[in-house]
């Protein structure tokens, strides 16, 4: 009985380690809904960077864009090519991002895959 319990514990530990190494894939290769999405290795801005973005946004007041009919935006949304992405000026220091303003929010976008990586409200 002890051998059976020990074998089960080893098997459980091995499967947990394998799961962790797959980058959050569930058994069978399905993505885990709770795993973080790949955002092109762009990190979310820290508090100081967010402050700089808000300051730029408030001083420049870039115009909001109109999205295609029925489209909503959230973190992880891929924006269509018809939505113009804007660049931050060098003094803001966020050259790895592009942005788009929709409504009362500024969305930081990974320019390589056009995926929203962070929302500034």
115: CB partners within 8 A, 6+ apart? 37, 39, 40, 76, 77, 78, 79, 109
Taking a C-beta distance cutoff of 8 angstroms, is the pair 42, 117 a contact? yes
pLDDT score, position 9: 42
Radius of gyration over alpha carbons of the chain, in Å? 21
- pLDDT tens for 43-98 read 778 899 899 999 999 999 999 998 988 899 999 999 999 999 999 999 888 889 99
């Amino acid at each position: 009985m002890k051998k059976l319990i020990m074998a089960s514990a080893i098997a459980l530990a091995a499967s947990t380690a394998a799961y962790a190494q797959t980058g959050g894939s569930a058994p069978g290769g399905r993505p885990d809904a709770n795993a973080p999405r790949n955002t092109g290795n762009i990190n979310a801005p820290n508090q100081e960077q967010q402050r700089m973005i808000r300051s730029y946004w408030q001083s420049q007041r870039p115009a909001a864009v109109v999205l295609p009919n029925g489209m909503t935006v959230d973190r992880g949304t891929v924006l269509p090519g018809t939505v113009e992405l804007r660049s931050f000026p060098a003094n803001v220091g966020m050259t790895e991002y592009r942005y788009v303003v929709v409504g009362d929010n500024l969305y930081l976008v990974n320019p390589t895959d056009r995926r929203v990586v962070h929302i500034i409200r």
